[in-house]
Structure formats: structure tokens, C-alpha cells
Amino acid sequence: MISLEAFWNVLCRHDWYFEFSDDFSVWKRGAAAESQVKTIASQSDKHQQLFEAFHNYNFGGASFGTNRPDEPQKSDFNI
């Protein structure tokens, strides 16, 4: 199992907006990476909560018609 700290680093480097790319190769790489990220997230409740915090932060705000939550902090997850 990947540690929360290692998963944090994966989430920080993840291309959250790959779906908006006009370049199919970028989309394809992003979709594969997202699949791996979701597999890691399913390892534990803490991993899932971390994924959801990053997801909600990246897809929140006026552009998405929601309030943007605060950026996730390591201290929120005891990392």
C-alpha cells in the first residue's frame, strides 16, 4: 500500500484538467493516470478522503458553479 504522504505527492503532480485537452494523447495519458489514482484512493478511507479533498478543490469555484473549498493541507490528514 502506498503511504498517504506518497499519495499526497501523486495528487499534487496529477493533471486534474486533462479532460479539457484537445490533444488526444494528453487525454489518454491523463485518463490512465486518473485510473491509477482512483485505484490508490480505494486502498483506505484516508486515501479516499485525500483524493476527494484534492478533487473538490480542483473542481470547485465559480467556474464550476460551486464554492471552492480551501486547498488541502498535509496537517488536515496528519501527514
DSSP 67: P
> For 12-37, what is each residue's pLDDT tens digit?
999 999 999 999 999 999 999 999 99
Residue 20 maps to a domain: yes
Q: What is the pTM of this model?
A: 0.91
Residue 50 maps to a domain: yes
Residue 11 maps to a domain: yes
Residue 31 maps to a domain: yes
Residue 77 maps to a domain: no
* Locus of grid cell 479533498: 53
Structural domain harbouring 41: 4-63
Residue 73 maps to a domain: no
Residue 18, H or E segment: none
Residue 74 maps to a domain: no
Domain count across the chain: 1
The pLDDT assigned to 41 comes to 98
Residue 36 maps to a domain: yes
* Locus of grid cell 493516470: 33
